[in-house]
Amino acid sequence: MADVASLGLYGLGTMGSALALNILDNGFALHVANRTPEVTERFRAEAGPLGAGLRVHDSLEAMAREMPAPRAIILMVPAGAPVDDAIERLCDALEAGDTIIDAGNTDFHDTRRRTAMVEARGLTFIGMGVSGGEEGARYGPSIMVGGTPAAYGKIKPVITAIAAKFEGEACADHLGPDGAGHFVKTVHNGIEYADMQMLAEAYGLMRYGGGMTPAEIGARFEAWDQGALKSYLVEISGKVLQAVDRETGHPAVDVILDSAGQKGTGRWTVIEALKMGQSASAIEAAVGARGWSSEKEARVAGEEILGTRRGAVEIAAETYEQALLAARIIAYAQGFRILGAASEEYDWALDFARIAEIWRAGCIIRSALLDDISEAFRGEMPQGALIFAPAFAARLRESLPALRAVVAAAVQAGHPVPAFSAALAWIDTMAQARGTTDLIQAQRDFFGRHGFVRLGGDAGSHGPWWE
Ligand code: 6PG
């Protein structure tokens, strides 16, 4: 263990203190500090009997000074300026061989920039994606590490110990250099956005088109969680839909404003996808839907002005289940396409099977599908596309009619299903050998002499409109 670093953690907010307790619970010594020392003291009390290996410090600098070398300090502060500020202070306080770890939801471009800056100053930097919310942080998150293998080596024992376990195997790994860990976490969140949106679309259809109560829909989610849709998000959706508000006695969801927040990771996924010439349409739709949801006043006015009323839909429970399965496969597939594009663009050599494996437990998108996805990436995969892997192509062939039926019924009756429709449009596009962009190319050539590839002929050809 000579090379293993002494461990410090800065930032004892909800996630920071949960992760700190997890580290202590696994028998590791830990130094902690917080911007406000009162919080550190409160944490000491909270740690109770777990506090045997705990050392608290008044400031980040004091902690860095008093930790034995080599040191590894985990930053659990909000993404953005607070991370830059902590790094700046640590660069002055640490020495060669020490490591700074940013464990927040950071934009991977910032991680790349910080890695270069920190390493130029003789220190090591790790960008670490951590998923699983508060409970995950406390009892076992999924951990996506970006940095050098040597840097990971210094913290690997603690990271694998605190991570979630899938059949005894740690859901944590070193995935690539600099921004790779944060990028994988960002795409994880993009998939999370799409999956959440699709579940919400199914809920909306069952409720406002099928006349079911939240509790009835919740019970359906609970049943689906025993089958092919088994996943954390289906499980918690079942629970929240069956929960009752103590104050009013109404379903808990009915006292919640239908306007969703977002901190950026979903949007970044879409932005990066577009920058690399990809379109993660289901994720895009989910990000967009959150944006529309925040226009509450406009929607209230719109209901009056446009006068569109949502009609009834009759869709069987099994059809919803199959539609959700198809849509989920598509969302994962789009996420992995973005990972593939980024891996090429940044030369990360990402191991997709491994990524699916470390998402099997601890993280928010954990689901029964991920084990099959990791297997698919280790097997035959035409065009390197998950949707063409034999097991997934077969599942899609079986479940797509249900997705089509749900989208058709929803559209006909005036229910918005942006993620379902976007997912279906992508898969329908991918199932056509000849599409319709011949006309787009002709239009481009007509108005701008852009040229096109003539079938069986040359690139840079022009149409008769130029003769
Ligand atoms: C996780 C979550 C977590 C958080 C995201 C999403 O993997 O544990 O993704 O990181 O919930 O930040 O947040 P927003 O929905 O607010 O963008």
Mapped onto helix, strand or coil, the DSSP state of residue 27 is coil
> Does 22 fall in a domain?
yes
pLDDT at res. 2: 43
Examine the fold and report which residue of 154, 178, 202 is the final residue of a domain before the chain moves on: 178
Residue nearest to atom 5 of ligand 1 (CA): 189
Residue 393, CB half-sphere, CA atoms under 13 Å: how many? 11
Give the pLDDT band (50/70/90) at residue 215.
Answer: very high
Q: Distance between CA atoms of 203 and 200, rounded to whole angstroms?
A: 5
Residue 383's domain comprises: 186-430
Q: Are residues 14 and 93 in the same domain?
A: yes
Segment 404-432 mean pLDDT = 98
Instruction: Please say if 185 is a catalytic residue.
Output: yes
Contact indicator for 198, 402 with CB cutoff of 8 Å: no
Mapped onto helix, strand or coil, the DSSP state of residue 422 is helix
Q: Are residues 160 and 215 in the same domain?
A: no
Candidates 292, 297, 306; CA nearest to 416 is 292
| Mean pLDDT over the full length of the chain | 97
> Does 403 fall in a domain?
yes
pLDDT at res. 467: 87
Candidates 167, 100, 168, 170; CA nearest to 141 is 170
User: How far, in whole angstroms, is CA 402 from its chain's centroid?
Assistant: 26
Q: Are residues 352 and 262 in the same domain?
A: yes
Give the pLDDT band (50/70/90) at residue 1.
Answer: very low
Examine the fold and report which residue of 178, 209, 227 is the final residue of a domain before the chain moves on: 178
Query: Which residue out of 46, 61, 154, 185 is catalytically annotated?
Result: 185
Segment 75-121, tens digit of pLDDT: 999 999 999 999 999 999 999 999 999 999 999 999 999 999 999 99
Closest ligand 1 atom, residue 133 Cα: 8
> Does 1 fall in a domain?
no
Q: Are residues 211 and 293 in the same domain?
A: yes
Q: Are residues 195 and 154 in the same domain?
A: no
Q: Are residues 204 and 328 in the same domain?
A: yes
Q: C-alpha angle 278/363/375, rounded to 5°?
A: 65
Q: Are residues 306 and 328 in the same domain?
A: yes
Which domain CATH number covers 247?
A: 1.10.1040.10
The finding on whether 293 has its CB within 6 A of some atom of ligand 1 is no
Task: Give the whole-number percent of the chain exceeding pLDDT 90.
Answer: 98
Total number of domains in the chain = 3
Segment 333-374, tens digit of pLDDT: 999 999 999 999 999 999 999 999 999 999 999 999 999 999
Closest ligand 1 atom, residue 365 Cα: 7
Q: Are residues 205 and 352 in the same domain?
A: yes
Q: Are residues 111 and 134 in the same domain?
A: yes
What are 116's two structure tokens?
């270069």
Segment 370-399 mean pLDDT = 98
pLDDT at res. 188: 98
> Does 192 fall in a domain?
yes
Q: Are residues 82 and 160 in the same domain?
A: yes
pLDDT at res. 130: 98
Q: Distance between CA atoms of 242 and 220, rounded to whole angstroms?
A: 10
The finding on whether 142 has its CB within 6 A of some atom of ligand 1 is no
5: which DSSP letter? P
Is a pLDDT exceeding 80 seen at residue 3? no
pLDDT at res. 5: 85
Instruction: Please say if 167 is a catalytic residue.
Output: no
pLDDT at res. 453: 97
pLDDT at res. 11: 98
Q: Distance between CA atoms of 348 and 343, rounded to whole angstroms?
A: 5
* Amino acid in position 118: V
Beta strands 71-75 and 99-102 are parallel
> Does 80 fall in a domain?
yes
The finding on whether 242 has its CB within 6 A of some atom of ligand 1 is no
Contact indicator for 222, 256 with CB cutoff of 8 Å: no
The finding on whether 53 has its CB within 6 A of some atom of ligand 1 is no
pLDDT at res. 199: 98
Q: Are residues 231 and 331 in the same domain?
A: yes
Write down the H helix ranges in 48-179: 60-66, 81-93, 108-120, 133-139, 149-162
> Does 311 fall in a domain?
yes
> Does 339 fall in a domain?
yes
Q: Distance between CA atoms of 174 and 350, rounded to whole angstroms?
A: 10
The finding on whether 202 has its CB within 6 A of some atom of ligand 1 is no
Segment 217-249, tens digit of pLDDT: 999 999 999 999 999 999 999 999 999 999 999
> Does 167 fall in a domain?
yes
Examine the fold and report which residue of 110, 145, 178 is the final residue of a domain before the chain moves on: 178
Q: Distance between CA atoms of 110 and 105, rounded to whole angstroms?
A: 11
Q: Are residues 311 and 457 in the same domain?
A: no
Which domain CATH number covers 153?
A: 3.40.50.720
